[in-house]
Chain A
């Protein structure tokens, strides 16, 4: 359904942009006190053991600051609820905590516990399975600009369940990864696809032959879908005339000590179908 929203809103935004001008400006923005950021992303790529995992901790910073603030003195552990096995994550460097004995199990429930600054943060999630990427191809005729290459990722949606998907495209030609979300509300049981058309106007660097593109397809929970969808919407065009009022991003990492001091970020566990594509 959110795909539909995006398409429809896109139609407004496109109209709007075609008739408007943009310029980068200096604005003074408010500054909130820092919050803990928990990047609890357990990625289990199909065909791997999934034993090596990492969790990243940092603090939020003023919006225009360029220096990241990492958190190095926290304790991090995950408990697998069905057998109460505990995986301790230890700090390596720059706020990255790792383990090499994580045991992934589809549909199992895990609980993350982070203790930082004498406050305990807890989050619980299920390890979500995902269907395989069947094909990746490229086209030019679709999309907004018929001269720009689209990279399409196809997969078969299982019919007897409601599914939510996240796709991540990383390209050797791009600094930042690109994310898309989709659910199967209108296309349950059908072949579905993600389409990435790199229409970055500023540098005209669309996907070029030779670019290596890595595609990760994640099966995600409904709650994480709601979270990441809002996050992507707000980081993409927060404040545009057809965007909704930006809202606080509340993840699932709850502060047990002081509920108002919740953490940013999310604890999620996903199976990933991965594919690499070289642009022709």
Chain B
């Protein structure tokens, strides 16, 4: 046995030696979906009976280099039929493929899945999840409104603050530590209607990828995760109209070719019905997604994409508010050589929030916008090593708030908080290296810089301490400014630079299993200033600077990955440990809104989180779905430091609001017949950490609750079951019009899960009471979707 291994090793070495001696050629091209011409990212391309292979990049591009010879090239993408092509590699060549969706084979085991998976377990990529829009659409949801952000919360390591709240939390990280990208543009607020729905219209989305750890070096700027959402390119073969009518909103998407075989477009809209939920008040939202591409020639392709989404709320005569994201991205794909692919992007995004209070006569406006230029390269050096490198620069413009009178007789004076400006750069290089046939390594290094720029006038404080501890009263107080410094336009107020190493290893144990380990360091220069449990649309982003330091995250993860039962099942288990320095924490009684000197409200703290994640997936057959379990802990601590005193919460570690000890999700889809398919979804979570009162006292005729340790108590456990059924009246019809009905019941056993428990004195009886607020009881929904 041992000898045979030695011989094998010898043969391998000799082969590789001869390989070096041989002339090498590369084959490159693009992989697309046959039905609509959408490029496929993450498709596997490899040469049969060799270990040479790769996966397509974000634009469906691949490049393989191999010694001269005859090969069988195989292209695989999960859910699609495999393509096999004999190639004679006697010169560099271009081949493009279009894959057919494997709908016809649903009843059979997709035998070809194993090769795909084999590559997957080899790849050092871990802590990532890919979801296709089709999978997301199968998951039962509240009010039938397909929701990307809600669907990723069914994966291990991802939670949020509860129903009806925005944002999401990854591996015990805060909501502002997620980099959310829509076609590379930063989305600052992912929610509609304060979090009931998300801003992504599933009809316009191709797929998403969530990086919970092992984050590649092309990404930077957030501490916890990257959610990379990509819009569809638009059908380049035929005009298609898709749409749907639901209880909350209606959708319509039009896509089609612009110039035959050269370009396509997608235009999608979604609009809610006004007066949602409310009687005399109204709440509504809409989204517009746009994308078009044009292939100039084989080596050059342009993409233009955009997004516009807005929420409006109006309450009687008292106030109305509106907020939304707008983004755009112009990209140029250029293939320098068969081995060198490049993409240049110019991206703009903006988030703004506006509010008018008629009774007070107050107008409020705030926004954040950025311009981002980035240039990324993929260099497929040979069959063992592939490089990614690039450079990016983001210019930020913050308008933290402006108050003005909304009518002439208003008591409000005009006031503007100081605008803030900053420039963030990133420079990275990474290599994916097949060290041996069993060991693959990923090495990456990112160097980020952040320049906080003038023009701005900043307060000076004694000893540079904007917050001071009052020993006498035992509280943190705002320091009194002792002077001011004015920074000229364009001058640098404060500069930061951080080296961010990234490392990942994959060691293949056998044909179907591997272990992987990763480390990443991330720096985050932007902070969402919020001391509420849930993210609200009015939360303000603040840049690092003189008084706020960049957040620095270190994450370690190790995992075991296995495919079994002919690859129809897969198991992913991971443990992680993550620490974040310089996490902003808020002093008791902090006052954050419309505050020009946020530094007097905060102290720099730290967080740590760790956990175990299990994900068991069934990938093929009539029944598909997954079971996810997370056991985790997420805590934070803020010491007094230079400000003196013990720190926030007495300097003790306390649970973050997104700490969930247990989190179980079970999601399944069963294809009953060609006409009917059934889905279900079960969620169980440990209750959210909260602070309960530990007593009361009489003051000014009121009974006042007293509180002590932060987040030391918990809401009752959260759990619910959702089901849905999809009915396709004529699945085999040759007509262009294809419709489907989706019937769903959210929270089937009508559990009144506590969104919060508040403690107050009943105004009629004068007695103290606890009041539970819950959002959704049992909730039926129906929607109709169509394609034309």
A residues bordering B, Cβ < 8 Å?
1-5, 7-9, 11-12, 14-27, 29-32, 34-35, 37, 39, 41, 56, 58-66, 68, 141-146, 168, 174-177, 179, 185-193, 195, 200, 202-203, 205, 223, 226-227, 229-231, 234-252, 254, 259, 262, 264-266
**Distance (Å) between the CB of B83 and the closest chain A CB?**
49
- Interface stretch, picked from B157-165, B227-235, B569-577, B627-635, is B157-165
Contact A238 B759 (CB under 8 A): yes
Interchain CB contact (< 8 A) of A32 among B161, B708, B762, B774: B708
**Distance (Å) between the CB of B189 and the closest chain A CB?**
13
Known: A32-B706, A175-B766, A188-B413. 9 other contacts (CB 8 A): A5-B592, A60-B695, A61-B697, A186-B413, A189-B413, A195-B359, A235-B760, A244-B532, A246-B707
A39 to B702, CA, bound (A): 11
Interchain CB contact (< 8 A) of B474 among A58, A237, A262: A262
Contact A7 B704 (CB under 8 A): no
- Interfacial residues of chain B within 696-729, with CB under 8 A of chain A in the complex: 696-708, 710-713
**Distance (Å) between the CB of B466 and the closest chain A CB?**
16
Given contacts A24-B769, A231-B704, contact A239 B360 (CB under 8 A): no
**Distance (Å) between the CB of B472 and the closest chain A CB?**
5
Interchain CB contact (< 8 A) of B699 among A12, A250, A265: A265
A20 to B319, CA, bound (A): 20
Contact B277 A18 (CB under 8 A): yes
Contact A12 B194 (CB under 8 A): yes
Q: List 16 A-B contacts (CB under 8 A).
A: A4-B593, A20-B775, A29-B693, A58-B698, A60-B696, A63-B693, A63-B768, A186-B412, A227-B589, A235-B703, A235-B761, A238-B758, A239-B690, A240-B756, A243-B532, A250-B474
B residues bordering A, Cβ < 8 Å?
161-162, 164-165, 193-194, 196, 277-278, 281, 283, 313, 315-319, 321, 355, 357-360, 362, 364, 403, 411-413, 415, 472-475, 477, 531-534, 536-538, 586, 588-595, 657, 690-708, 710-713, 752, 755-775, 777
Interchain CB contact (< 8 A) of B695 among A17, A18, A61, A179: A61
Interchain CB contact (< 8 A) of A175 among B357, B588, B764: B764
Contact A7 B752 (CB under 8 A): no
Chain B contacts of A41 at CB under 8 A?
700
**Distance (Å) between the CB of B268 and the closest chain A CB?**
26
**Distance (Å) between the CB of B141 and the closest chain A CB?**
16
Chain B contacts of A168 at CB under 8 A?
700
Given contacts A30-B713, A176-B701, A188-B413, contact A238 B707 (CB under 8 A): yes
CB-based closest 3 A-B pairs: A247-B588, A246-B707, A32-B694
A65 to B691, CA, bound (A): 19
**Distance (Å) between the CB of B326 and the closest chain A CB?**
22
Residue of A nearest to B762 (CB): A202
Interchain CB contact (< 8 A) of B355 among A11, A187, A259: A11
Chain A contacts of B701 at CB under 8 A?
176-177
Contact B704 A234 (CB under 8 A): yes
Given contacts A186-B403, A246-B705, contact A11 B533 (CB under 8 A): no
Given contacts A5-B593, A18-B281, A63-B759, contact A248 B534 (CB under 8 A): no
Contact B711 A245 (CB under 8 A): yes
Chain B contacts of A259 at CB under 8 A?
474
Chain B contacts of A230 at CB under 8 A?
588-589
Contact B595 A22 (CB under 8 A): no
Residue of B nearest to A157 (CB): B411
Most buried by A among B278, B415, B473, B769: B473
Contact B532 A176 (CB under 8 A): no
Chain B contacts of A2 at CB under 8 A?
591
Residue of A nearest to B774 (CB): A21
Contact B194 A246 (CB under 8 A): no
Contact A264 B707 (CB under 8 A): no
Chain A contacts of B283 at CB under 8 A?
15
Interchain CB contact (< 8 A) of A235 among B193, B403, B704, B757: B704
**Distance (Å) between the CB of B590 and the closest chain A CB?**
7
**Distance (Å) between the CB of A123 and the closest chain B CB?**
9
Most buried by B among A16, A237, A243: A16
Residue of B nearest to A34 (CB): B695
Contact A8 B710 (CB under 8 A): no
A61 to B768, CA, bound (A): 12
Contact B317 A146 (CB under 8 A): yes
A252 to B536, CA, bound (A): 33
Chain B contacts of A66 at CB under 8 A?
767
Contact B317 A21 (CB under 8 A): no
Contact A248 B588 (CB under 8 A): yes
A56 to B699, CA, bound (A): 9
A98 to B763, CA, bound (A): 29
Contact B357 A23 (CB under 8 A): no
Interchain CB contact (< 8 A) of B771 among A24, A247, A251, A252: A24
Chain A contacts of B774 at CB under 8 A?
20-23
Chain B contacts of A25 at CB under 8 A?
757, 770-772
Given contacts A175-B763, A244-B590, contact A63 B695 (CB under 8 A): yes
Contact B313 A142 (CB under 8 A): no
A32 to B701, CA, bound (A): 22
Most buried by B among A8, A26, A177, A249: A8
Chain A contacts of B591 at CB under 8 A?
1-2, 5, 226
Contact A12 B319 (CB under 8 A): no
Given contacts A21-B752, A24-B769, A62-B695, contact A3 B360 (CB under 8 A): yes
